[in-house]
Amino acid sequence: MIKTFLKSILIGLGLFFAPLAFASTIDFSPNTVNVEPGKTFTVQVYVNPQAATYSAKVELKYPADLLQVSSFTIDDAWMALKQSGYDATDNINGVLLKSGGYPGGFSAKTLFGTVIFSAVKDGSATISVGSNTNIPNASNVNTLTASPSVAVSIVSPVITPPTPPIQPQSTPTPTPTVKTTPKTNPVVQPQPTPTPSEETPEPPTEAQPEETFVTNVANDSQASLISVLGNALSLGTDNLFVGFLVILAIIAIIFYGYKFYQKKKRK
C-alpha cells in the first residue's frame, strides 16, 4: 500500500518536471533601455534551448505608437526563412516575425539576430515574445516557456537654457554735482522814523537893497554895450587884432579928416 502510494508520487513529479527539463526561452540583451525620442537603440535576441534544436521562429511584439523596427539582421550562423508566415515586419500593428534554420543544430544559448528599434515619442514600452514563437525539439515539439521582456523608457531630455556669459560691469563715471546756492533776497531793514526834533529857525533873509539891483542892471548893460562895440570893431570876428586895426583906421580917418578941414578953413 505504501509502496504503491510512493510510486504514484514519483510518477506525478516526473510528469510535472519533465516539460521543465526540456524548457527553452528567448532571451534579450539588454533587458532595460533608456532612450530619447527620435533616437535608435539595439536589442540582441538569443535562443536558449534545453535540448538539441535545429530551427526557431521568433515573434516579437511592441507598441507601434512608441517604437518602430528600423532593421533586423539575422546572425550569420542561421539560414533565414523568407516564406510567408515566417518573415514579416509590421510597424502598424507592432509585430516582428523572423525564422531560420541552424545547420547541425545547437543545444546552448545562441545569438539569433539583432533588431534596431527607433523611439517615436515619450512613454514606456515593452518588447515581449509573441505567441507564434516556436523552438521545436527533435520531435518537433515546441519547447518554449515564458520568456523575459525588454523594458524601454522614452524620455525627452531636459533642455537647460545656456547661462549667459557674465559681462564685465563698467564702473560708471561719477557726474559732478553742481551745488547751486539759492539766491536770497536781501532783507530790507526798516529804517527808524526820525523823531521830529525842534530845529533852530533860520533867520529871515534880509531883502537886498534896491540900489544893489540897479547897479547890477547897469553893469550888465555896460557889458552888453562893450560886447556889441567889440563885435562891430572886429567886423564880427571877435578878433582883437582885427578890432585894433579897425580902431587905427578910424583914428587915421578922423585925423586926416581934421587936417583936411583945417586946410580948407585957412583958404
Across the beta sheet with 67-74, the strand order is: 25-29, 40-48, 110-119, 67-74
Show the domains of the chain with their CATH numbers: 22-154 (2.60.40.680), 212-266 (no CATH)
C-alpha 25/C-alpha 267 separation (Å) is 202
**CA–CA distance, 8 with 24 (Å, rounded to integer):** 28
Classify 203 as helix, strand or coil: coil
Q: Nine-digit cell at 72?
A: 533586423
Task: Look up residue 166 and give its three cell numbers.
Answer: 557674465
pLDDT in single tens digits along all 267 residues of the chain: 454 443 343 333 333 333 444 589 999 999 999 999 999 999 999 999 988 999 999 999 999 999 999 999 999 999 999 999 999 999 999 999 999 999 999 999 999 999 999 999 999 999 999 999 999 998 899 999 978 999 999 999 988 888 888 877 777 777 766 666 666 665 556 666 655 555 555 555 554 545 554 455 455 656 666 676 666 666 667 677 777 787 888 888 888 888 888 877 776
CA–CA separation, 55 and 168 (whole Å): 72
The CB density around residue 183, as the number of other CB atoms within 10 Å, is 6
Q: What was the pLDDT predicted at 111?
A: 98
Nearest one of 140, 136, 149, 113 to 50, comparing CA atoms: 136
